[in-house]
Amino acid sequence: MPSWRIFPRFAALLAVAACAMFCAPRAHAQGGIEGYSTTTVSLSGNNATGYIAGASFTVTMTVQNTCDPDEYDGDLYTTIGNLGNEDNPAYSSPPNYFGPGTWSAEAIYTGYNGTDLGGEDCTITGSDAFVNFTVPGPVGSVTTATGPTTSVIAGTPITLQVFAAPPSQYQEFTPATGTASAYYGEDELATATVTNGTATIVIQTTGLPTGTYPLTVAYSGDANYIPSTSSPVSVMIAAKQTSSTTFTVTPNPLVVGDTVTFQATVVPSPTTYVPGGTVTFALGTSSLGTATLSTTSPYTATLTLPTAGLPAGNYAITASYNGDIHDLASQSQGVTVELQAQSPTTTTMAITPTTTVAAGAALTFKATVAQSVGNTVPTGDVSLMLGPNVIGTLPLASGTATAYINTTGVAPGVYSVYMQYAGDATDKSSASASQNVTILHATSVTGSASPNPVAVGSTTFLTAKVAQTLGTAAPTGTVTFSYEGFAIGSAQLGTNGQATLPLDTGALPDGTYTLTASYSGDVNNSASASTFAVTITN
């Protein structure tokens, strides 16, 4: 151990060190004297056997200078180790302050700048002196140990922090060295090196039964310190948490070429610790991949895999949680994944704007095709079918296909239509449900009034003639006469396709009125309407 030397006024020493004890006096140009000083130091506190730990040491300094051999002025410092005294040529340390080690006692004189006894200017260069002393050991030691504040899971190391030092009355001492060993009863569990009075002992718990262990630490001692043993430190070794693992497969069943996602969920019991680590997904004994468990509840691990190139069939998959320092491993029940070569599909058909239109109207047929199993979008062609006959064929785009049909030239009637998906390499064919599309005869309405003009207060007869645009059959149904949206009345079409409604003009002012004749349509004929004018005169 190197000696401790303390210089409370180090800057002052630098100024005087060059001439500390060797400068001879000489005259200044102005007639003054420049001299030097000599400092000596003595240490007491020893006895016949030398210095001993716990003794009180006294340092005493003597200064002589060339200005006045019997007197001196200036600052004085006396130190022992880290202790010191200013302006006093002697200093005594407290008892029981120094433990084993090598220390230094020092005396410093900073010099003088003033006059001598004869009144002459006088400058004295400072000086210092020191003496080393050794306090031998061994002395007693105190060993303390601290351990974990919570229980330790079996398999997790126990860490003990160890401190070895002399009794507390020693304020300056050489740090302890040697070794520290942890014991359970008489069984030594682990050993560590003591450096600067401390050590860290790591005890492996693998194979140790669960329970409470009162552990002690034995310090070996060294040249300065006698061996000692700590008080017991109680450490509990607890069993690992159990765990349970479940997992899901999405989608299932699925089609070759789809991606499949495995998600495992791990539940610890109890929930003292957050489970960590990984989950391995396996087909039999062959690992499919490993995923890391999430750090928040629910604790899940997810793995996504492609199925391209795999043969169709059923696969039994398991998820195995591999455990960690706090949690035991666990394995899920097997889940059967059904991998199909082709997915069943569903095809739906939407017809807009309605399924009943007049001949000549436009219709839109939209097919939507989706997999019943799997998560890919079908490709291929869709055909619009009228019974066994193909009206038209379109390619799917993003799972849909739309046909636009103009019914001009289509004979009125009821037609059963559906849309047929042809399938592709991974998707089976399918057809939508059939829907009836009704094509009605287009009709026209001709309105008139008789008499027209009509005198105020007289009756005129409103007549509407309804006829098929392309056919010759007489439509049936009713005709409603209205003026600016307000119904005047309705009349039934006769066998001649004509409807008549009497109009009493008694309450109407004279003028010309634009009336609307609206035909309601029937099962074979489309609705239609037209306008005509009626003039009322005075």
* Tens of pLDDT, residue by residue, the chain (538 residues): 222 233 333 323 322 333 333 333 433 334 456 767 787 878 776 543 456 767 777 888 887 776 665 555 667 777 887 888 777 788 888 888 888 888 888 888 888 787 776 777 888 888 888 888 888 889 999 999 999 988 888 888 999 999 999 988 888 899 999 999 999 999 999 999 999 999 999 999 988 899 999 999 999 999 999 999 999 999 999 988 999 999 999 999 999 988 999 999 999 998 888 999 999 999 999 999 999 999 999 999 999 999 988 999 999 999 999 999 889 999 999 999 999 999 899 999 999 999 999 998 999 999 999 998 877 899 999 999 999 999 999 999 999 999 999 998 898 899 999 999 999 988 999 999 999 999 999 999 999 999 999 999 999 999 999 999 888 889 999 999 999 999 999 999 999 999 999 999 988 899 999 999 999 999 899 999 999 999 999 8
Say how many C-beta atoms besides its own lie within 10 A of residue 34's C-beta: 19
| Secondary structure letter of residue 18 according to DSSP | G
Element (DSSP H or E) covering residue 431: strand 430-431
Q: Would the CATH topology of 10-135 be identical to that of 345-440?
A: yes
Cβ atoms of 279 and 293 closer than 8 Å: yes
* Residue type at position 413: G
The domain covering 142-238 belongs, at the CATH homologous superfamily level, to: Immunoglobulins (2.60.40.10)
Distance between CA atoms of residues 296 and 316, nearest Å: 29
Q: What is the pLDDT of residue 14?
A: 29
**Taking a C-beta distance cutoff of 8 angstroms, is the pair 4, 172 a contact?**
yes
Residue from 64, 160, 67 nearest 114 by CA? 67
Task: Please tell me whether the peptide bond between 502 and the residue prior to it is cis, using omega within 30 degrees of 0.
Answer: no
Report yes or no: 202 and 191 within 8 Å, Cβ to Cβ: no
What DSSP state is assigned to residue 343? B
Q: How many angstroms separate the CA atoms of 346 and 366, rounded?
A: 14
- Identify the residue whose tokens are 């390499």: 425
- Cα distances (angstroms) measured from residue 493 to each of 157, 356, 480, 503, 532: 101, 22, 10, 17, 18
Distance from chain centroid for Cα 359? 63
What pLDDT sits at residue 347? 98
Q: Which two tokens mark 371?
A: 């997999």
Return phi, psi of residue 16, to 5°: -110, -5
pTM of the complete model: 0.49
- What pLDDT is attached to residue 135? 85
pLDDT of residue 72: 55
Strand-strand pairing, 454-455 and 528-537: parallel
Domain 443-537: CATH class, spelled out: mainly beta
Q: b/e for 278-307, b at 16 or more Cβ within 10 A? A: ebbbbeeeeebeebebbeeeebbbbbeeeb
Return the closest-CA partner of residue 33 out of 126, 141, 113, 132: 113
123's enclosing H/E stretch is strand 121-135
Tell me which of 3.30.565.10, 3.40.190.10, 2.60.40.10, 1.10.760.10 is the CATH number of domain 345-440. Answer: 2.60.40.10
* Pair type for strands 83-86 and 76-80: antiparallel
CATH number of 10-135: 2.60.40
> What are the sequence ranges of the domains in the chain?
10-135, 142-238, 243-340, 345-440, 443-537
Query: In angstroms, rounded to a whole number, what is the distance separating the alpha carbons of residues 77 and 538?
Result: 141
Other CB atoms within a 10 A radius of the CB of residue 226 amount to 13
Nearest to 190 by CA among 145, 141, 236, 226: 145
Q: What is the CATH T-level fold of the domain 243-340, as seen in this structure?
A: Immunoglobulin-like (2.60.40)
pLDDT value for 45? 67
The Cα–Cα gap between 535 and 388 comes to 57
Q: What share of the chain is helix, strand, coil (3-state, %, to 5)?
A: 0, 55, 40
Looking at residue 470, the DSSP 8-state letter turns out to be S
Instruction: Judge contact between 289 and 211, C-beta under 8 A.
Output: no
- The helix (H) or strand (E) run that includes residue 10 is helix 10-16
CB atoms within 10 A of CB 445: 22
pLDDT of residue 125: 84
Residue in 259, 257, 423 with CA at minimum distance from that of residue 344: 423
Q: What are phi and psi of 230, to 5 degrees?
A: -75, 165
Give the three-class secondary structure for 11.
Answer: helix
The confidence score (pLDDT) of residue 434 equals 97
Measured in degrees and rounded to the nearest 5, phi and psi for residue 157 equal -65, 150
269: its two tokens: 């019991």
DSSP letter for each residue of 309-342 = TPPSEEEEEEEEE---SSB--EEPPPEEEEEESS
Report d(CA 274, CA 327) in Å as an integer.
9
Q: Is 300 helix (H, G, I), strand (E, B) or coil?
A: strand
Output 386-389 pairs: Cβ under 8 A, ≥24 positions apart.
386/415, 386/416, 386/417, 387/416
Helix and strand element counts for the chain (H, E):
1, 43
